[in-house]
Chain A
Amino acid sequence: MGKLTFTGGIHPYDGKDLSKDKPICDILPGEELVYPLSQHIGAPATPIVAKGDTVLRGQKIAEASGFVSSNIFSTVSGTVKSIEPRRVVTGDMVSCIIITNDGLYNEVNYDAYDEIDVDNLSKEDIIQRIKEAGIVGMGGAGFPTHVKLSPKEPDKIEYCIANCAECEPYLTSDYRRMIENPEMLIEGLKCVLRLFDNAKGILAVEDNKPDCIELLKKLTKDEPRILVKALKTKYPQGSERQLIFATTKRAINSKMLPADVGCVVNNVDTLCAIYNAVWNGKPLMERIVTVTGDAIAEPKNYRVHIGMSYKELIDAAGGFVKDPAKIISGGPMMGFALFNTDVPTTKTASALLALTKDEASKYEPTPCINCGMCLEVCPGRVMPKVLAECAEHADYEKFEKMGGLECCECGCCSYICPAKRHLTQSIKSARKIVLANKKKAGK
C-alpha cells in the first residue's frame, strides 16, 4: 500500500534541524503586552476593560461578539494602558488592548474546575469551556474552535483528526509538543472525541517524525478509539483539505466544510489548549513559538505569553548573528513577512523565522515557459499559470471558472516556478477580489 498522501506538493529544504532538539523553554514577557481584538476569523472581540483598569493574568479582557468570534484573555497582571490601533503581523493596523505588565503574574481563580468531575461533563459543557477559553485554530487560520466543534449533525462525524503533520519548513513547535506533552495532546483529542460518539480519533503525523509516531503509538495502544497514522512527508500535507484526503481519501472543495465528509480537524497546540480548558479551566494564554532561521543566534522553541512582542523573542534567542533579509511570522511557505519586529504574538503565531536570504526577491520574474511544474505541484489541482494570467488581466470570471477559489494559497506554485513568477501572490489577490465581490453580491 502506498503511503498516505495527496497529489502534488513539494519538498523544500525543511530547516527543522535548527530547532528540533531544543526543548520548549519558558520566557517572561516585557513591560508591555499587546492584544489585537481580531486574532481569529470572524467578528473582532469587544473590549470589556477600560484604560486604567487593573487586570489579573487569566482575566477576560475582550469578549466574543457573536458566535463566530472569540474571547481574549490577559496573560499577565497589570493595568490597561490604552486601547488603540497597533500594527499586527499582516501589516494592518488593528485595534488592540495594551496592558502594562506589573511583573507579578497574579492569576485569577480558575473557577475551581478541578472540583468538577471532568468525566461527567456534558457535551455542551465541554464546548462551553472551549468557547469560554477563547480557543481558535492555532495552526494559522484562527477559526474559532467551538464553531468547528459544533457541526449541524455531530452524529455524522466519523473522524476527529489531530493535525500533527507540521509540514511547514523550519517549524518545530508541534514536534516539541508531541515529544514533551504527548499526554496533553491525547487528552485533548479525547475531549474532542467525547463530543462525537461515532468518531474515531486520528493522530496524523508526517513520517519525518518517527519518534513522535512511536511515542504516540505507545501511549494510545490502549485507546481503541485513537489511531496513529503516518503520512508521507511532503508540503502541504498539513493543509486541512489535503490532510483529510490523505487520512480518509475523502476530498472536499472550497465550498465544503470538513464536517460535510464527517471530519473535524484540529492542530496540536489547539488540542493542548482544549485539554487545558476542559481539565484545568484555563483560558488560552500560551502557545509554543519556534524562533528560528539562519539569522537567529540560538534557534529555540518558546512557551510564549500571547501578547508579547516578536522583538522580545528575538532578543531572548540571542538576537541576530547575521543581518536578516526577511523576518517572517509563521513558516516560509505561508507566513507573513514583517515590516518590523515590534508586533505582538497572537493565538495563531507558530513561529518567528529570520532568514539571511530573501529568495522571493532574489530572482526577477521572467516569462512563463509553460513547463507545467506549477500544475504538477498544485495540491488544489488547478492551473496556477492560467489563474495567474487571469489575475493579471483582471479576468475574474475566467479566474473563477478555472477553479481559482480552490487554491489554498499554499505557495507551492511560486516555490517551484523556474521562471520565478509570483503566481501565489497574483492568485491570492484575485481570490480576495472575487471573494469580496461575492460577499457584496450576496448581501
Chain B
Amino acid sequence: MSDMMRVSSNPHIRSKVTTDKIMLCVVLALLPATIFGVWNFGLHALWQVLLTIAACVAAEAVYELIMKKKLTVLDFSAVVTGLLLGLNMPPAAPLWVGPFGGVFAIVVVKMLFGGLGANFMNPALGARCFLVISFPAIMTNFNCDAYSGATPLAQIKAGETVNIFNMVMGRTGGTIGETSMVAIVAGACFLILLGIIDLKIPASYIVTFVIFYGLFSGHGFDPYYISAQLAGGGLMLGAFFMATDYVTRPVTKIGQIVFGIILGLLTGIFRVFGASGEGVSYAIIIGNLLVPLITRFTAPKAFGEGGERI
C-alpha cells in the first residue's frame, strides 16, 4: 500500500446506474415496437431502422473526431436517437432518407448545441420535422406493400370507419414504430418498472388530450373515437418515449405535469382543428421550446422553506 491515499470529496460511493445503462434500457424498451414494426411492414423497415441508427452513431463519432472531442458514442444516446427516428419513418421511404435525417439529428440538433444534455429539442423529432418539411412527398406517403391508402387517423378525419382492434394491436398503416399501442405500452411498462420514466408526463398528456378531444372534436367522449385517437398517429410513442426524453422535458415534478398538459392541449388543437390529424411531433417540439420557461417557474421550494412535503 502506498503512503499517500487518493482523496476526494464525499460521497465515496456511487450507485450502479449510469447514463449508458439508462440509454440501453430505452433501446430495449423500444424493441417490442421495433420488432412489431418489422413484422408488420417487412424487411425494408428493418433496413431503414438499422441504417438510421448506424448513421446517427457514425455521425456522432465522426463529429467528435473532427472536433477533437471525447468520444461519447458508447453512451448509447445516439442509438436511441437513431432508433426513435427510424421508428418515425414511413415504412416505404427510400433507404437514404432515414440516415440523412439521422445525420441532421446528431450534427445539427444535438452536437451543434453542445452534445448530449445541451440540446433543447429532441433530436429524433427535430430531424423528423426537418424531413417532413424537406421531403413532404416521401414523409407523408404511408403506402407500402402491406397497407395502402391513408393512415387510420386520416381515414377518420375523412369520415371513414376504422377497425379499432387492429389499431390497438398495430395492424394498420403508419410509421414503422408507431402503430402498435400494445408493443409500445409494453416497452414503456418496462421503463416505468425500472424507474427510468414515470407516468407524470404520459398520463397528464394523455388525460389532457382525451378531455380536449372529448370537448371539442364534436364526437364527445365516444370510446370508439377516443381509442382510435389514442392508438393512432404516434401518440403512444410520443407520450411514452419522446415527451419523456430527459434532456428536453422539464426536470421538476410540477413542471412535468404542466408539460404533459401543454402537449395534450397542443395535440388536441392540431388534431381537431388542424389539417393532418396527427400533430404529436409538432406538439412535442413546441413543448420542448417551452421547457426552460416551465422549469424556471416550477423550481421547487427548499426543505424548511415550505418544500419539505411534496
Contacts and interface: CB of A to CB of B under 8 A. Distances in A.
A363 B302 contact: no
Given A251-B303, A251-B308, A424 B9 contact: yes
Contacts of A325: 6
B173 to A, nearest CB: 34
Contacts of A372: 246, 251-252
B116 A369 contact: yes
A224 B183 CA distance: 60
Given A253-B303, A418-B19, A333 B13 contact: yes
Contact of B6 (A252, A358, A425): A358
Contacts of A251: 303-304, 308
Interface string B116-147: 11100000000000000000000000000000
Contacts of B68: none
B44 interface: no
Nearest to B116: A367
A419 interface: yes
A82 to B, nearest CB: 23
Interface string A338-378: 11110000000000010100111111001111111101000
Interface string A13-26: 10000000000000
B11 interface: yes
Contacts of A242: 303
Interface stretch (A38-46, A52-60, A184-192, A403-411): A403-411
B247 A370 contact: yes
A341 B5 CA distance: 9
A278 interface: no
A265 B17 CA distance: 35
Nearest to A364: B70
B159 interface: no
Contacts of B115: 367
A6 interface: yes
A419 to B, nearest CB: 5
A341 B3 CA distance: 9
By size class, the interface of chain A is 35 or more
B11 A369 contact: no
Contacts of A370: 117, 246-249, 251
A300 interface: no
A418 B21 contact: yes
A302 interface: no
A6 B13 contact: no
Contacts of A386: 299
By size class, the interface of chain B is 35 or more
A376 B115 CA distance: 24
B19 A382 contact: no
Contacts of A406: 302-305
Given A245-B308, A326-B5, A383-B251, A359 B13 contact: yes
Q: Which of B12, B252, B304, B309 has the most CB of A within 10 A?
A: B12
Interface in B209-247: 246-247
Contacts of A252: 304
Nearest to A382: B302
Contact of A424 (B5, B11, B75, B77): B11
* Shortest 4 CB-CB contacts between residues of A and residues of B: A253-B304, A411-B11, A403-B302, A367-B117
28 contacts: A91-B7, A245-B303, A245-B308, A254-B304, A324-B1, A324-B5, A326-B7, A328-B12, A337-B10, A340-B5, A361-B8, A366-B72, A366-B75, A369-B19, A369-B22, A375-B252, A375-B253, A380-B303, A382-B302, A383-B252, A383-B300, A385-B251, A403-B301, A409-B10, A411-B11, A419-B18, A419-B117, A425-B10
